[in-house]
Amino acid sequence: MRRLATLAAILAVLSCKRGGDEAARARIFSPEQPVGVLAEAKEPLDARRLEDDPKLAQRVLQMPRSEIEARLGPHKAQQSLKFAWFRGPGLPDGGSEVSLAEETTLVQAPAGDFSVKLTNDHNQGLELVWARGEAFVRSLYGPFHKRRTDRTDPQRIREQALSGLPTFDRLSRGLKLKYSGETVSEGRRAVRYLVDGFGARSAQKEASDLPPVQYPGGGAPDPDTARRLELWEKEEPTEVSGSLLVDAQTAAPLACDLDGRFTVAATGKAPAAELKLSTELTTTAVGSELTIKTPRAEPEPSAPHAVKDPLRFLGKEPGAEPGEGSTEEPEETESADEEDAPAPAAAKPATPAKPAPPAAPQKK
């Protein structure tokens, strides 16, 4: 009886362990959740209450592209953004101006595939294609190259390339919206709002789990970094205007046309810096059959590891083996770099000559 009881207990333990292992195995080998399927995208939002609910307006104005993808499905978005910085027109040097104009086109296909193309008026730009779990990137005039997925973040590039509307809302400390009725855009019902001011909420702080940044040299940032941080810490909106179009069914932003002026006060008697910003957004082809083709990419140039093979890493052929050197005399170059030159091959030690036998004694 004791043996039967012990055997039953062992079988019970094994069955429990086997069930737990199978459940864990099912979780590990289950198919991955498609890109863009977010819990936030299933939350119903009332697109007609943005005027009365600042938190809801912030939720819509700063909606990430991943959630917009889940709400709208396949679509095409185009954004234009222009900004100009003016610094101190009364300064002795006459002040300075920095301006830039960008154009971004996003083609969002089903299953999370998309392509982003960004160009600016400085004759620069990039293009990224995310297709079937592979990333391809090229400069404005260069060929495509396949990028390793553990060294690039296509979704983050998509967010940054089309961040005109959320950035404008943040700089404005929350846009005040005024309901302007309903309309139709690309065959879809939409709600139209006019921008009625700024300062709908207090200054927004970045939510991060990271510890505070530790700056060297006494705990303060360098002057250049400090000027860049002043944009978010000291900027004040002075004038904003424009309009916004929100999808009536999903509350996803479809279009905007915004203009604004912002100032950053300087310390002491220095004049304040002024920022002029304008952005436009249009969304078309919602629900269309858009496809992203895998581009033809050039292979990445292979380079051996510098420590494993430093000569080949520097583009030089490895040195000849001892005893196999060429009989030709090497050409002398005046611009040879001692550090880049290959180390001379170690010569084999010379074999010592055998001592000559002693001479025979001569007969007298």
235-252 pLDDT, tens digit each: 899 999 999 999 999 999
Please state which of the ranges 176-185, 195-204, 309-318 shows the lowest mean pLDDT: 309-318
DSSP of 246-269: EETTT--EEEEEEEEEEEEPPSTT
Average pLDDT over residues 152-175: 93
Residue 251 is predicted with a pLDDT of: 96
Average of per-residue pLDDT across 343-362: 52
Amino acid at 258: L
Q: Identify whether the C-beta of residue 82 lies closer than 8 Å to the C-beta of residue 104.
A: no
152 pLDDT band (50/70/90 cuts)? confident
In the predicted structure, residue 165 carries a pLDDT above the cut 90: yes
Cα Rg for the chain, rounded, in angstroms? 34
Q: How many CB atoms lie within 10 A of CB 216?
A: 8
Q: What is the pLDDT of residues 28-78, one digit of tens each?
A: 666 555 444 578 888 999 999 999 999 999 999 999 999 999 999 999 999
Q: What is the secondary structure of 129-154 as a DSSP string? A: EEETTEEEEEESSSPEEEE-TTS--H
- Would you state the pLDDT for residue 229? 78
- Residue 265 — φ and ψ, nearest 5°? -70, 145
- Triad 162, 166, 167: Cα angle to 5°: 90
Q: Give the mean model confidence (pLDDT) for residues 301-306.
A: 55
Mean pLDDT for the stretch of residues 153-179: 94
pLDDT above 50 (res 364)? no
| Sign of the Cα pseudo-torsion (230, 232, 238, 241, in order) | positive
CA dist., res. 55 & res. 61, Å (int): 10
What number is the average pLDDT over the span 276-281?
96
Residue matched to tokens 């030690």: 349
Give the Cα separation of 63 and 253 in Å (integer). Answer: 8
In this structure, what are the phi and psi dihedrals at residue 252, rounded to the nearest 5 degrees?
-80, 140
The predicted structure's pLDDT at residue 213: 81
List of residues 6+ apart from 132 with CB closer than 8 A: 113, 294
Q: What is the mean pLDDT of the chain?
A: 79
| CA 249 to centroid of chain Cα atoms | 30
Q: What is the DSSP letter of 309?
A: -
The stretch 280-287 carries a mean pLDDT of: 96
Cα separations in angstroms, 324 against 318, 330, 344, 352: 13, 14, 13, 21
Q: What is the pTM of this model?
A: 0.69
Could you read off the pLDDT of 337-348 as tens digits, one per residue? Answer: 444 444 444 445
Q: Is the pLDDT of residue 9 over 80?
A: no
Residue scoring higher pLDDT (313 or 36): 313
DSSP per-residue codes, 171-192: HTTS-EEEEEEEEEETTEEEEE
Predicted local distance difference test score (pLDDT) of residue 340:
44
pLDDT above 80 for 312:
no
Mean pLDDT confidence for 174-198? 94
Q: What is the DSSP-derived secondary structure letter of residue 198?
A: S
Identify whether the C-beta of residue 102 lies closer than 8 Å to the C-beta of residue 71.
no
Q: Which residue has the higher pLDDT, 217 or 197?
A: 197
What sign does the dihedral 319-320-323-326 (CA atoms) show?
Answer: negative
Beta strands in the chain (DSSP E): 75-87, 96-108, 114-120, 125-131, 134-139, 144-147, 176-185, 188-197, 235-247, 253-264, 273-284, 297-298
- Give the range among 14-23, 182-191, 338-347 with minimum mean pLDDT: 338-347
Whole-number pLDDT of residue 94? 58
Give pLDDT, residue 190: 97
120-149 mean pLDDT? 92
pLDDT at 326 over 60: no
**Element counts in the chain: helices (H) and strands (E):** 7, 12
Residue 325 has pLDDT above 60, yes or no: no
Confidence of residue 221 (pLDDT cuts 50, 70, 90): confident
Which among 191, 246, 197, 209 is positioned nearest to 62, based on CA atoms?
A: 246
Instruction: Answer whether residue 10 shows pLDDT above 70.
Output: no
Mean pLDDT of 251-261: 96
State residue 36's pLDDT score: 43
Question: How confident is the model at residue 355, as a pLDDT?
Answer: 55
The answer to whether residue 257 scores a pLDDT higher than 70 is yes
